[in-house]
Amino acid sequence: MGTCSECKDGFPRPNDQPDRFKWGGPECQTGNVAYNKGGDQSGVYGGLVSSKGVDGILGDSSSQSNCAHPANNRGVAAWFYVDLENVHQIYNVTIYNTFNVRGSYRMFDFSIRVGNTSDVDEHAECAHYGRELVRQGGDVTLDCSARGRYVSFRREGNYNDVNYVTICEFVVIGHPLTTAECPAGRTGTFCLNVCDAGSFGVGCSEECGHCKNDLCSAVDGRCSDGCELWFLGDRCNEKLNCDVGFFGVNCDEECGRCQNSACSVVDSHCLDGCQTWFIGDLCKQEIVLPSLRGLYPGLRRVNSSAIVLSWNQDSQIPDEHSQYYGYTAAFAVGSAGFQDVSPNVAHDSSITNQIIIWNIHPNDEYHFKVRIYREMDGRIEYGWPSETISVHLGQTGGDSAKWKTIATVFSVLFGLLALAVVTFSALWFYRRGQSKNSNQGCKRDDRDAGQSSATRNGQASTPAPSPGDASYVNVPQVSKKPVDESSRQYEALDDGRPKDDQDPYTAIEGVYQDINDAELT
């Protein structure tokens, strides 16, 4: 057993003496940590398994039965590893060549590697030996300052005889680590536990950046699957910063209509909400300015002072945007300017809007149209109105003025006719009286003569009735005086509100309601 005085730089280095490679001394707190540990190798030649490389027996020139002998196909790397069972601080590795002259020439151009998994392809190289041949029965020691659980030997497959290599003993000098001494990416007793996902470094004390799927190296924090969008750098902790109003991986996509043009560079979500007339998470849905261009509203009369104005709604407005739109009826008298009629009517594509407008004055010319608007955040903005429809109620059927004129004409005609009848009757009676007086004289002479004649004949004669003695019934004339339509009064629809006598047109008002056609007859 050695002492510290036999250590080099505080660590023992075994030589080619069979009793030295087994050395492990508490004096230096280090030793051959590979002794009798498990392992594996790339194939087995002649039953020479990996455990023979760590059994502490070198063998001799007459036999290599105590050596490990990996075997593999030509052109493929030959490898051998030992599992130290927990993470160790490694200082150096010594490889003993076989005494067999037929196999000793293969020990050259190889590397020593350390890792924390049994996959030798994941082990990191810590030492390399070149083209110089290790002599028969000799050994070579390579410094390997690394931390890990698995220590491996690897000879690349670039020679025809790479399928054979013989390792009579594989000595690893090091010592197990306590938790405080664990390398980056390891933690727990003997450093056997890997850092949890999302952490890395010594003691697993650092957090990974914005790696995809939170996958970062437990050792140095590098993102194995790359970064999440809008993050850069090996550890994905550099945030992408775009100019105001732009977003995307290359900052070449434009934000929606956000307040202050502030949107997330990640998903373009508006940070301060939308500008007026825009909605949606990305503020790209516009509440467009509406239009009734080319639409003519309908007009129906209720009575002499009220009409019904109806119109179809803007079919281009999506149902989900209805709350932002409405309509206002407007009128003008003669050449005066248009005035709005209350109340406003909300947009509802399922019905035809109608509004009753009363206190219309007969004989005036009226003009009507419908104005459409959008409303948001207390702001109202009008779009293109409907076409204008005009009406002169004094010229429509049933108007009192019209009938008043007709009644006046008929009254005059009836008066003239009555005067003519009276005149004709008076003249007729006058002429009849003159004729009656002259006939009476003649008839008395005839009666006297007749009576004489009758007397002469001895016959009695009954006198004929005299026309002057008959009674005539005057049939009363049927009065045909026309109804004075001017006397008819049309009651304006009134809701009890006072009217302005000085300006009768300001009394025009409207009320929105659903009207059944039967009610208009």
- The whole-number average pLDDT for the span 202-218 is 87
The whole-angstrom separation of Cα 112 and Cα 10 is 22
* CA distance to 43, 51, 110, 119, 139, per residue, from 80 (Å): 9, 10, 11, 11, 16
Average pLDDT taken over every residue of the chain:
75
Q: Is the pLDDT score of 316 beyond 70?
A: yes
Confidence at residue 161, expressed as pLDDT on a 0 to 100 scale: 57
Supply angle C-alpha 470, 476, 482, rounded to 5: 160
Question: What confidence tens digit (pLDDT) does each residue in 96-120 have?
Answer: 888 887 777 788 889 999 999 999 9
Residue type, 521: T
Higher pLDDT: 149 or 156? It is 149
Cα dihedral: 74, 76, 80, 86 (round 10): -170
pTM: 0.38
- What letters, b where the CB count within 10 A reaches 16 and e where it falls short, cover 149-176? bbbbbbbebeeeebbbbbbbbbbbbbbb
Question: Considering the domain 289-415+479-521, what is its CATH architecture?
Answer: Sandwich (2.60)
Q: Which CATH class, in words, describes the domain spanning 4-176?
A: mainly beta
4-176 shares its CATH topology with 289-415+479-521: no
Which residues share a beta bridge with 339? 331
| Cα-Cα-Cα-Cα dihedral sign, residues 252, 256, 260, 264 | negative
| Domain boundaries along the sequence of the chain | 4-176, 289-415+479-521
Cis amide bond preceding 343, omega within 30: yes
Band of residue 38 on the pLDDT scale cut at 50, 70, 90: very high
